[in-house]
Structure 1
Amino acid sequence: MEDHKSPVAAAMGNKKRARNCCFVCLAVLVLLGLLLLTLGLTVFKTKKPVTTVDAVTLDDLDVSFDIARLQVHLNVTVKADLSIQNPNRVSFKYDTTSALLQYKGKAIGEAPLPAAKIGSRQTHPMNISLTVMADRLLSDSTLYSDVMAGALHLTTYVKLSGVVHLLFKIHVKTSSTCDLFIDVLDRRLLNQTCHYKTKL
């Protein structure tokens, strides 16, 4: 004798199977989410790319005085060797930007830096040359007194803005600032102090 289930019992059985299937799917999604979270906090945790200034040199340093106008004509090219380290397991891509040479916060030299991509756990070398735009200093009265005192303080500034692609885009900004202290009479770099900053 065949056992025929009533329509009500069959419907309840279908609902139970559907409910169990939903629970299984939900459990799989939760486990997958926990796995991705664990990977994101450990293996694929976003680390800060670091820009480091390895060396700074001065080229073609020349200073001449206009006593009558109390002006100084300054020519110098600052060359800097940088290293950009990407410690992440994915690439870091940064946008086109510029390196700046500054005197008392005013940009007196500029060099374009094209956009690039740094691979996983790679270090990207970069060489920049910043030449003083002499016309930007002619109206600066403090330059004359600084040069007459025999010391000149210039600053290089490089800021990179880009993204690291993990489970989603993470915006990164890394910058380096170097204070250069120049002996005008001996035409040499006395000292340099660099500061680095990275923000996620």
Structure 2
Amino acid sequence: MRRRLLIACAACAVALLGSSVLAQARGQARQRQANMPVAQVPVALLDSTCKLSPAQKQKIQDIQTKLTEDLKALRPARGAQPDPGAAQKRRDLTQAAVTEINNVLTPEQREAIRQTMPLLQALRTATIPLPVVADLKLTDEQKKQMLQIVADVREKLRGLPAAERRAKMREGMADARKKLEDLLTEDQKAVIKKYREQNRDRARRNRP
């Protein structure tokens, strides 16, 4: 009887420990996913979100520049076989940059950026380049409607079976992109168009 009790207690302990570890791992995964975009958000946009000091701007710019160079170094040379571990290395480099950036920010700044991330995801859905977001001067009403459009699409996809959800994803995102673009004024569209044209010209000049 005593032996059975000990076995039962041990089993419960293992189960509780397993649940705790699993919950912690999931929490860390969610945190990494939520923080990941910070390393890719332009400094000007971060500044418009949480007002960075000159020293913070320089530190974050240096971190992002180094990340860009490190990620570029992982690209295989022309004709070479890709590194099978490159994807994990990219994740590790990005997460390291995120940690460094978060260490530069104050708790209040981190919270302001965290609250802005859903909007940035919505803008990405509309393929709006992040470097121009600060120049668009979006109104609060535009931001609210953009978030709602993306939320509606996700809600429609949520209850579908995996295979059907994948099939509907492209259609839903295309519809959301059109609605998001329709929310922009002509002046805002002109800002985006100018940026894209300048970016294309820059890419042509840098092409070997």
The answer to whether TM tops 0.5 is: no
User: Please, what TM-score do these two structures have when normalized by structure 1?
Assistant: 0.26
**Which structure is higher in strand share?**
1
